[in-house]
Amino acid sequence: MAESSITESSIKAALEERLKAIHVEVQDMSGGCGQAFTTLIVSLEFAGKNSLKRHRLVNAALKEEIAQIHAWTAKCQTPEEYQKEQAATGGNDGPSFEGTSGGKVDGVQQ
């Protein structure tokens, strides 16, 4: 399988530009082949929107990128939600690595 042109840095740049995200964490869960990503996105664009509307906003912003990958998860927060969670967790919250082994998606062949 050819490597995808989608990378952690390209997704991060797109989210910062298209959603004016002030904080983005992207983790390639596919071992570097660009087929599975998990993200944490903090943007003022999410203010006043429920979870579904936030995810629709992200999916619309990354429509071309998401069409090229196999698996995608996004955690969407406003700056206030992010700050509150960071204070509550001591700053150790990031994308979930559930279902992975060593940060890679279980069952993915390299």
User: Secondary structure of the chain: what % helix, strand, coil (to 5)?
Assistant: 35, 20, 40
Q: Which helix (H) or strand (E) holds 87?
A: helix 79-89
Q: 68 phi and psi, to 5 degrees? A: -95, -5
Of 109, 48, 30, 20, nearest in space to 7 by CA: 30
Secondary structure letter of residue 56 according to DSSP: H
For the entire predicted model, the pTM comes to 0.77
pLDDT digits (tens, 9 = 90+) for 20-54: 999 999 999 988 788 899 999 999 999 999 999 99
Structural domains in the chain, CATH included, are 8-88 (3.30.300.90)
Please tell me the total number of residues recorded for the chain in this structure: 110
